[in-house]
Structure 1
Amino acid sequence: MTEDKLLTGARLKDMVKAGYRCLTDNKEAVNTLNVFPVPDGDTGTNMCLTVAAAVREMDKVTSSGLGEVVKALALGSLMGARGNSGVILSQLFRGLSRSLQDRRTASPLQFAWAMQEGVETAYKAVMKPAEGTILTVAREAARASLAAAKKGADLEGVLSAALERGREVLDKTPEMLAVLKQAGVVDAGGAGLVFLLEGAVQGLSGALVVPGEREEAPLLRGEPEAGPAVQAGDGAAEPSEPDIVFAYDTQLLVRGAGLEVDRIRSQLEPLGDSLLVVGERTLVKVHVHTNEPDRVLAVCLAHGDLLEASVENMREQRDARRHSRVAVAGAAGAASGGAASEEGRTSQFVAPADPGPSADSARLGVVVVSTGDGLEAVFRNLGADIIVSGGQTMNPSTEDLLAGVESLPAEEVLLLPNNGNILMAAEQTRELTSKTVHVVPTRSIPQGIAAMVSFNRSLDGAENAVKMKRALARVKSGEVTYAVRDSKYNDIEIHEGDFIGLLDRDIVTVGSDPLTVLAGLVGRMADAETEIVTVFYGAEVTEEEAAQIESRLSAKAPGHEIEVHRGGQPVYRYLVSVE
């Protein structure tokens, strides 16, 4: 086959750059594909920033060889990955790279097989893949490309087949994932991938499409349906809790020489479900739900040294989530010596004069993700050494998190992402450092604060991680923000500009007055087993409004201690913790 029919490094650069331009042109359209009508949609932004990092890395390559360019694509996207959608995209590129990194050129069939390996790598990175997400779109697009290649299609034909099938599957995602159908949108990550493929086809063919002249994709799909409001994840399902068949969540790293990932996986498959075995020949990460953790450890030990092994009883965790409502934040407030005022407690957490790594961080460091000067002061006072700026709509990249970890002298680090959309990037950080990183799966700021309250510098990282994870079951997380479009959820009519109260990412209150919505939200969160209500108000809240918070909440949470702090966070007018 002549070189003009092959995929070269230069052609791959053209494809990715054109894909990036197309994705950038449609970034805001992707951002609006939020299952909730709130201003925190950031999938388009995250995917754009991830691809931008890949483009920068590819531009450093002067060789025309495909292998060098595709390795740069994988490295750039890995380090620049933001949000779950960006991490999944980086894994698609990572698998593509593994298949092509030793080639100067690739045939259409070799390229199609590489796309297939990209999908397999991305699926392995997600613990509970869900249908109707970017993973589904990627899988079906790759299958279509492979079918076209086997029939003799050229590179443009292979990519065009992937694009056509990707569009078809994207349009069907609301039928696969109930939350999308309820919201009247297609999957945001899948839409971003389709735009990336569309641009790649243009880059390969040399076509120039003027922004605005492109046929609009059917992103918004009519009126949303009423139903339970559940936030859709980027590839990961979060259903109601099923019966637990395999009780022990077992995770570990295996270090050795010449490790065989496929062999380890095949030996572990009979021992449980939710199996994840990923890595390289010197380091492999294992995750499995099993009833025989001893056998899992024995299998892995036969291949190499075991690192960071943890076994957790998921039945016990489930029971804790259902029944445990132990208050922990009050002790931290008392220790900080804050005084109550007539308007509620003033901020009890003051940032150190020299906010940087603490003297004790040489042994164990703590990195947290947060934004807002008030919240950052809270985390520093509770023991955080490094604050990585970020949160909803501002997800830090894997490289940002890695920089925070590497900036500490400690060889053992606790990492708190404090946002469900940053969890995958945090987990990815563990693969890129020689330090021992314990990712505490905090999905909200209130969870992050509860975890830090339980932090004990005298314990090691593994012991602290266990304590922190247990603390997460004790806190309910709520937010108040505003609607960016008309919508309907659970028979609740929502109009653009309304204030919305969310309890653990479920819409429970809507209204025109933020304090009334806040009070309604707290009324849903507080019960006979809770004791403390903590409110962090955002940057847009005036002191006059903040002064009314305690009195407005007292009737909704009788017998509760009510604390009010300035968080200074964007996007969310109020963040609420009930323990």
Structure 2
Amino acid sequence: MNVKIHANSQAMAKWLERVVKSLGNHSDRLNAINIFPVADGDTGSNLYLTARAAHDAISKLETDSIGEMLTMASRAAMESARGNSGTLLAVFLAGMAEPLCGVERLTAPLLATALERGKVRAWSALSEPVAGTMLSVMEVAANVARRTHRASSLEPASKAALTEILEAICVAAEDAVVATESELGVLHEAQIVDAGAVGMLIILDELRGALQGHVIDPDEYAQFHGYDIQDPHIHQGVSNGSGVEVMCTINLDALGAATLRGQLDALGDSVIMSPVNPTNEGYRWRVHVHVPVAEDALNAIRGVGSPVNVSITDLCTHDG
């Protein structure tokens, strides 16, 4: 079976380039249906800006190692991550990079392992992960990749086996997006799918497109409930409450990280903490939390270290 596919570091760099372009094209529609965890209408923008930071970091990198490239991309994405969705994308890329260290060509078993690591890192980063979101798409993709690889009769290192997995995960991811509407009550009530889940599907579709060298038809997403409605934005009709999003980067040892996570869990929600890279005394961590009052979170953060790259965003602001 002669399969046209490219799976080296250049193809993976092309993937990130395509993701930036596609998320940019879809950002307005993703913003329009962004109502969970808060209806602030910025999921599309956050995914796009985070992906752009990842791609910019490796745009001039010359390496044959897929893992090295994705590690650099994920660290840049983490430092510049925007919102829940952007942070989880950065964490997912960091997880994918781990088993690909020194790898020059992606294969079916390596992709299955990379998707599994990305899923685990993303689910673990959240204090209270919620199904019916982009996490569910990550999980379905990883599970289907593993099952497809184990059941395949094809040579594991062959291009045909990689094509088989790529096709399987994209079909399954699409089904997972449809399922989000029934998994989360707020989505079911609004009769829409989850914005972050659609964004994750776009990212996986572009992976398949980049490796196989074909263009993804943007009209295929029109089937999703609410996705063809842009004006007015659906999120504008959803009650959003109040509060702020606080993000920062901070150096912490294991005890400091555990202490801070516990304190932030008590103060707010949507707590995401993920290591960016190792330091002499622990790790550099990216921190994300939604709280009623920013100073409460900042006091807790300053109590364990010295934060940098601090950003505070009003959750009532509608960017869409």
Q: Same fold (TM over 0.5)?
A: yes
One of 215, 218, 224 as aligned partner of 2:224: 218
The match for 1:126 is: 126
What value does the CA root-mean-square deviation take over the aligned residues? 4.3
SS at match of 1:26: helix
Aligned: 1:184 with 2:191: yes
Instruction: Kindly report which structure 2 residues correspond to 1:41-440, keeping only aligned pairs within 5 A, or say none.
Output: 41-150=41-150, 151=152, 152=154, 153-209=160-216, 214=220, 216-220=222-226, 255=253, 287=258, 424=272, 427-428=273-274
**Match for 1:176: what amino acid?**
E
* CA positional deviation for 1:177: 0.9
One of 282, 294, 297 as aligned partner of 1:448: 294
Tell me which structure has the larger Cα radius of gyration: 1
* Distance in 1, Cα, partners of 2:45 & 2:260: 35
**Match for 1:157: what amino acid?**
E
* Distance in 1, Cα, partners of 2:211 & 2:274: 31
Q: Residue 99 and residue 4 in structure 1: after superposition, are their counterparts in 2 closer, same or farther (change >3 A)? A: farther
* Distance in 2, Cα, partners of 1:436 & 1:21: 29
Greater helix fraction, Structure 1 or Structure 2:
2
* CA positional deviation for 1:84: 0.9
**Match for 1:98: what amino acid?**
E
* CA positional deviation for 1:124: 0.8
* Distance in 2, Cα, partners of 1:23 & 1:449: 33
* Distance in 1, Cα, partners of 2:59 & 2:98: 20
**Match for 1:443: what amino acid?**
V
Instruction: Kindly report which structure 2 residues correspond to 1:446-525, keeping only aligned pairs within 5 A, or say none.
Output: 447-448=293-294, 461-462=302-303
Instruction: Kindly report which structure 2 residues correspond to 1:524-539, keeping only aligned pairs within 5 A, or say none.
Output: none
* Distance in 1, Cα, partners of 2:80 & 2:223: 27
Task: Name structure 2 gaps, 5 residues minimum.
Answer: 155-159, 242-250, 306-313
SS at match of 1:216: helix
Whether the 8 Å CA contact 2:67–2:99 is kept in 1: the answer is no
**Match for 1:462: what amino acid?**
G
* CA positional deviation for 1:194: 0.7
* Distance in 2, Cα, partners of 1:221 & 1:440: 27
Whether the 8 Å CA contact 1:6–1:108 is kept in 2: the answer is no
* Distance in 2, Cα, partners of 1:91 & 1:176: 23
* CA positional deviation for 1:176: 0.9
Deviations 1:26-69 (A, max 9, x none): 11111111338x98300011011111111111213112332322
Scaled by the length of structure 2, what TM-score is found?
Answer: 0.72
* Distance in 1, Cα, partners of 2:285 & 2:252: 15
Whether the 8 Å CA contact 1:20–1:52 is kept in 2: the answer is yes
* Distance in 2, Cα, partners of 1:63 & 1:134: 30
SS at match of 2:169: helix
Q: Higher relative contact order at CA 8 Å, sep ≥6: structure 1 or structure 2?
A: 2
Scaled by the length of structure 1, what TM-score is found?
Answer: 0.42
Whether the 8 Å CA contact 1:184–1:222 is kept in 2: the answer is no
The match for 2:8 is: 8
**Match for 2:75: what amino acid?**
L
* CA positional deviation for 1:154: 2.8
Q: Residue 74 and residue 285 in structure 1: after superposition, are their counterparts in 2 closer, same or farther (change >3 A)? A: farther
* Distance in 2, Cα, partners of 1:198 & 1:23: 11
Q: Residue 80 and residue 449 in structure 1: after superposition, are their counterparts in 2 closer, same or farther (change >3 A)? A: closer
* CA positional deviation for 1:12: 1.1
* Distance in 1, Cα, partners of 2:261 & 2:39: 37
* CA positional deviation for 1:217: 3.8
* CA positional deviation for 1:101: 1.3
Task: Name structure 1 gaps, 5 residues minimum.
Answer: 232-252, 256-282, 288-307, 322-418, 465-477, 482-569, 573-579
* CA positional deviation for 1:145: 2.1
Whether the 8 Å CA contact 1:185–1:220 is kept in 2: the answer is yes
Q: Share of identical aligned residues, percent?
A: 21
The match for 1:372 is: none
SS at match of 2:41: coil
* Distance in 2, Cα, partners of 1:22 & 1:14: 12
Whether the 8 Å CA contact 1:144–1:165 is kept in 2: the answer is yes
Whether the 8 Å CA contact 2:5–2:212 is kept in 1: the answer is no
* Distance in 2, Cα, partners of 1:209 & 1:440: 32
Q: Residue 230 and residue 170 in structure 1: after superposition, are their counterparts in 2 closer, same or farther (change >3 A)? A: farther
* Distance in 2, Cα, partners of 1:440 & 1:93: 17
* Distance in 2, Cα, partners of 1:39 & 1:310: 24
> Across the two proteins, how many residue pairs are aligned to each other?
283
* CA positional deviation for 1:181: 0.8
* Distance in 1, Cα, partners of 2:212 & 2:14: 10
Range with greater deviation from structure 2 (142-151 or 106-115):
142-151
Greater strand fraction, Structure 1 or Structure 2:
1
**Match for 2:209: what amino acid?**
Q
